[in-house]
């Protein structure tokens, strides 16, 4: 493997357009499968260690669906492409709340649970607004990255504590909470060494899939005349949001509204804190020459987050009509990104 990898890396650096078109869906498929295996192995080990489905769903499963974004953004920063790294976060957050939520609501209206209204959506808005302060100096260095990761750990601990308290008060774990684990990790291995092997393979797939995806998307985008940032907020963002899309579509069909909303809002929190924090820690970067990352695209993300939140608070559900509105907004966002508006 060590002999062939340098040759493959050189091939990716000089990727022809035809190969980029072929390899982009391949890279995305590898990314998603790697995240799938990582979650399967991690959930199995967590259960073997006696962790409850509730805690697993809030931590391991939720982080697993954000694993493609983490891998793609780290790969981008290591290759000095901060526009792709940060643009991936913006685009994924917008795709989650407009594209994914819109599609799911059209299939079946989604009731927004009280816990999301009281806790998760306000946290998502606060974290996203606070990101402006982090990026204000146009740098994502070690200090900013560590701060984001500390906030991430603190929010996870708070959510786990509050959910455990709520579960103890009700003296049960809801079917939706059990379902989160079943949907995300349906084929859990039985032994710990197989679980560990799945985690290792999953991480390798994430690494390789990220390299292929970023390289292919960059070639396609450049041939289409797109900037680095636009490639991140469109092609890569939609691709890395596929785990959330698939999970939420299944949940919508089965009527698990808690899982749908929790997955979307939770993934946005994780993207903002974990993805940016991890990529900046891997290699600090500057966005001094990409002002759109603290300007237009950042505010497009905030507008979409506020719109989704306003609909959730006003109607306590995402209906088919509001789902269609969200999809139209996503279409407008894509048109804006591509310079058509």
**Domain map of the chain by residue range?**
55-184+225-337
At residue 108, φ and ψ (nearest 5 deg) are -160, 125
CB neighbours (10 Å) of residue 322? 22
Give residue 79's pLDDT: 87
Give residue 2's pLDDT: 40
CB 185 within 8 A of CB 40: yes
Give residue 193's pLDDT: 83
Q: What is the pTM of this model?
A: 0.81
Measured distance CA(39)–CA(61) in Å, rounded: 6
Q: What is the pLDDT along the chain (341 residues), one digit of tens a residue?
A: 444 455 666 677 678 888 889 988 998 888 888 877 877 777 777 677 766 555 565 566 667 777 888 888 998 999 898 889 999 999 999 999 999 999 989 988 888 888 788 888 999 999 999 999 999 998 999 999 999 999 999 998 888 787 777 666 655 555 555 555 555 555 556 677 888 888 788 878 877 887 888 788 888 888 888 888 899 999 888 888 877 777 777 767 767 666 678 778 888 998 999 999 999 999 999 988 888 888 889 999 999 999 999 999 999 999 999 999 999 999 999 998 888 75
Bridge partners (DSSP) of residue 317 are 111
239 closest CA partner among 16, 24, 23, 15: 24
- In the CATH scheme, what is the code of domain 55-184+225-337? 1.20.1420.30
Give residue 125's pLDDT: 96
Q: What angle do CA 251, 257, 261 make, to 5 degrees?
A: 95
SS (H, E, C) the chain: CCCHHHHHHHHHHCCCHHHHHHHHHHHHHHHHHHHHHHHHHHHHHHHHCCCCHHHHHHHHHHHHHCHHHHHHHHHHHHCCCHHHHHHHHHHHHHHHHHHHHHHHHHHCCEECCHHHHHHHHHHHHHHHHHHHHHHCCCEECHHHHHHHHHHHHHHHHHHHHHHHHHHHHHCCCCHHHHHHHHHHCCCCCCCHHHHHHHHHHHHHHHHHHHHHHHHHHHHHHHHCCCCHHHHHHHHHHHHHCHHHHHHHHHHHHHCCHHHHHHHHHHHHHHHHHHHHHHHHHHCCEECCCCHHHCCHHHHHHHHHHHHHHHHHHHHCEECHHHHHHHHHHHHHHHHHHCCCC
65 closest CA partner among 197, 246, 216, 238: 246
Cβ-in-10-Å burial (0-12, 13-18, 19+) of 178 comes to middle
Give residue 164's pLDDT: 73
Count how many Cα atoms sit within 13 Å of the Cα of residue 260 in the half-sphere of its side chain: 26
Q: Label residue 173 left, alpha or beta by phi (over 0 means left) and psi (-120 to 50 means alpha).
A: beta
CB 114 within 8 A of CB 262: no
């Amino acid at each position: 493997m060590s002999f062939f990898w340098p040759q493959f890396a050189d091939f990716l650096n000089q990727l022809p357009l035809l190969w980029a078109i072929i390899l982009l869906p391949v890279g995305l498929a590898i990314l998603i499968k790697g995240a799938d295996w990582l979650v399967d192995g991690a959930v199995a080990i967590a259960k073997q260690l006696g962790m409850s489905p509730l805690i697993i769903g809030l931590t391991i499963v939720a982080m697993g669906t954000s694993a493609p974004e983490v891998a793609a953004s780290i790969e981008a920063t290591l290759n000095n492409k901060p526009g792709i790294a940060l643009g991936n976060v913006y685009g994924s957050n917008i795709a989650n709340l407009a594209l994914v939520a819109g599609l799911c609501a059209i299939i079946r209206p989604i009731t927004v649970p009280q816990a999301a209204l009281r806790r998760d959506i306000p946290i998502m808005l606060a974290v996203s607004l606070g990101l402006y302060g982090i990026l204000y100096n146009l740098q994502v260095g070690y200090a900013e990255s560590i701060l984001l990761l500390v906030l991430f750990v603190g929010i996870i601990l708070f959510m786990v504590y509050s959910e455990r308290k709520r579960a103890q008060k009700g003296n049960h774990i809801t079917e939706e909470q059990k379902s989160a684990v079943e949907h995300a990790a349906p084929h859990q291995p039985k032994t710990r060494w197989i679980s560990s092997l799945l985690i290792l393979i999953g991480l390798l797939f994430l690494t390789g899939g990220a390299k292929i995806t970023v390289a292919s998307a960059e070639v396609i985008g450049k041939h289409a005349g797109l900037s680095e940032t636009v490639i991140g907020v469109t092609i890569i963002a939609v691709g890395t949001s596929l785990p959330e899309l698939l999970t939420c579509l299944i949940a919508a069909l089965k009527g698990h509204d808690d899982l749908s909303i929790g997955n979307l809002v939770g993934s946005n929190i994780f993207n903002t804190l974990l993805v940016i924090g991890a990529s900046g820690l891997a290699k600090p970067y500057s966005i001094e020459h990409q002002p759109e990352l603290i300007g237009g695209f950042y505010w497009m993300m905030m507008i979409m987050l506020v719109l989704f939140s306003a609909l959730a608070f006003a109607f306590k559900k995402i209906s088919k009509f509001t789902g269609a509105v969200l999809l139209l907004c996503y279409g407008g966002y894509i048109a804006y990104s591509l310079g058509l508006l």
